[in-house]
Amino acid sequence: MTTITTASRIPIDGPIETPWKLPYRGNVGMACLIIAESAIFIIFVVAYIYYIGKSLSGPTPAQVLELPILGTICLLSSSIFVHLAVSSLRKENYRGTTLHLGITVLLGTIFLATTAKEWYHLIHDEGLTIKTNLFGTTYYSLVGLHATHVVVGLIMLSLTLVLSLAGRVKEEHSEKLEVLSLYWHFVDAVWIVVFLVVYVLGR
């Protein structure tokens, strides 16, 4: 047992299913992250639903919330553009990639701006803060958690955009960009849930 034997013996010749192909780890990792994040969001959504109408004092959602139509349209359509960015990159259409990434970042920023405007209005004109009542508590937490995810996504997308402008994003990076786009799609999907719960069900 002094010499190392089996290490070099292990490859046994045998029928192996060819080709031996395993999933790309970026995608699997992102899928895991999305599952974990979904669980976090579910807890916040459950808390939101549980506390609908339980606030002991005003203001109520019906009094102060308005449907964020513009922001929603921007965010949802940005999903299409990030998808286009990935497929342009696959086709080695680098200018298309840059363009579509740029539009994605722009649309995401507009969404963020509408949220900021809404919060400004709520805090300044309506006096609703996280302390005011249960509605404030759950509203700012849930929407804030989502906005945090948008910010993170925007940072990553902007970095990619900068790299792309510098001509550093190439066809071989398309798998990675796809992982990022998965994240962005997830953020969008969460927004649909938040929108339904907060602005439709909650009012």
Round to whole Å and give the CA distance between 195 and 6: 59
Which of 95, 92, 107, 83 lies closest to 158, judged by CA?
Answer: 107
Cβ of residue 28: shortest distance to other proteins, in angstroms?
5
Round to whole Å and give the CA distance between 27 and 31: 6
Contact 102, 87 (CB under 8 A): no
Number of residues that bind other proteins (CB under 8 A): 48
Cβ of residue 52: shortest distance to other proteins, in angstroms?
11
> Quick one: which of 130, 151, 162, 192 contacts other proteins (CB under 8 A)?
130
The residue range among 88-96, 137-145, 176-184, 191-199 that interacts with other proteins, by the rule CB under 8 A, is 137-145
Please identify, using beta-carbon distances, which residue of 46 and 70 lies nearer to other proteins: 46
Contacts (CB under 8 A) with other proteins, residues 159-198? none
Quick one: three-class SS letters along 132-191? CCHHHHHHHHHHHHHHHHHHHHHHHHHHHHHHHHCCCCCHHHHHHHHHHHHHHHHHHHHH
Tokens representing 95 are: 């200018």
How many C-beta neighbours within 10 Å does residue 88 have? 20
Cβ of residue 188: shortest distance to other proteins, in angstroms?
20
Contact 143, 198 (CB under 8 A): yes
Cβ of residue 19: shortest distance to other proteins, in angstroms?
10
Cβ of residue 51: shortest distance to other proteins, in angstroms?
8
Residues 6+ apart with CB under 8 A from 191: 72, 75, 76, 146
User: Would you give the binding string for other proteins spanning residues 24-53, x where CB under 8 A is met?
Assistant: xx--xx--xx-xxx-xx-xxx--x--xx--
Cβ of residue 100: shortest distance to other proteins, in angstroms?
28
Please identify, using beta-carbon distances, which residue of 161 and 180 lies nearer to other proteins: 180
70 contributes a contact to other proteins by CB under 8 A = no
Tokens representing 172 are: 């071989």
In the complex, which residues of this chain contact other proteins (CB under 8 A)? 1, 3-12, 14-17, 20, 22-25, 28-29, 32-33, 35-37, 39-40, 42-44, 47, 50-51, 54-56, 130-131, 133-134, 136-138, 140-141, 145
